Amino acid sequence: MGSALAHSLEDAGHSVAIIDQNKEAFRRLGPHFKGRAITGIGFDRDTLLEAEIENARAFAAVSNGDNSNIIAARVVRETFGVQNVVARIYDPGRAEIYERLGIPTVATVRWTADRVLRRLLPGGSQTEFRDASGSIRLVEVHLDPTWVGQRASSVEERTSARLAYLTRLGSGFLPDEKTIIQEGDLVHVLIRESEVERVEEILAAPPEANK
């Protein structure tokens, strides 16, 4: 993940520094990586200073250890004042705790399990994000096949949900008033927690049933 992030950030025009305890891991970066590779511990102050953390706009802790990731994320935010910080966490329970502490996390196991379940059991909705208060969700919703050919905006018109974006052929995009739902589209909406079941029922039925 670290090497994939590094290359994606470089491709977007950003300068990147990578920290790893094992210098052999830098081989994954390949010969085209132009950033800095620092051998050390990600939450060690001197190592972070060598990586020029004081000039950093963002920091991602994506090692294989939950504890080291959260410590690194907190040190970078609280000691060096970097605001754009994220930590990869394998334990879903820990991820929820750290979110409440103000450290954005990506719960790897939970995210992967959710993606697999979504393909095995496509009905209903699958939560992709929940705000800190727990009152708003970003969910991928299942639509009855008869919604194909309808305007994407009709999802908003017939529910209380806000259409966030569509995924088509693996790429996300923002729909406009002319966008038509096609077969295979994945529909992502923002919705109040209290409205989830009602919206699922509406979208699981043909659109004509909700006029």
Residue 98 reports pLDDT greater than 80: no
Rg over CA atoms, the chain: 21
The CATH number corresponding to 122-210 among 3.20.20.150, 3.40.1190.20, 3.40.50.2300, 3.30.70.1450 equals 3.30.70.1450
CATH no., domain 2-107:
3.40.50.720
In whole angstroms, what is the distance from residue 20 CA to residue 1 CA? 12
**What average pLDDT score do residues 48-57 get?**
95
Reported as a single tens digit per residue, the pLDDT across 69-86 is: 999 999 999 999 998 898
Distance CA(14)–CA(23), nearest Å, equals: 22
Grouping H, G, I as helix, E, B as strand and the rest as coil, residue 66 is helix
Other beta carbons within 10 angstroms of residue 207's beta carbon come to 20
Domain ranges for the chain: 2-107, 122-210
Helix (H) or strand (E) holding 200: helix 196-203
CB 107 within 8 A of CB 92: yes
**Cβ-proximal residues to 194 (8 Å cutoff; 6+ apart), any chain:** none
Q: How many Cβ atoms from other residues are within 10 Å of residue 29's Cβ?
A: 19
- The model carries a pTM of 0.58
Whether 110 has a pLDDT exceeding 90, the answer reads no
Buried b (16+ CB within 10 A) or exposed e, 118-150: beeeeebbbeeeeeeeeeebbbbbbbeeebeeb
Q: How much is the pLDDT for 134? A: 79
**What are the start-end ranges of the H helices in 81-140?**
92-100, 108-120
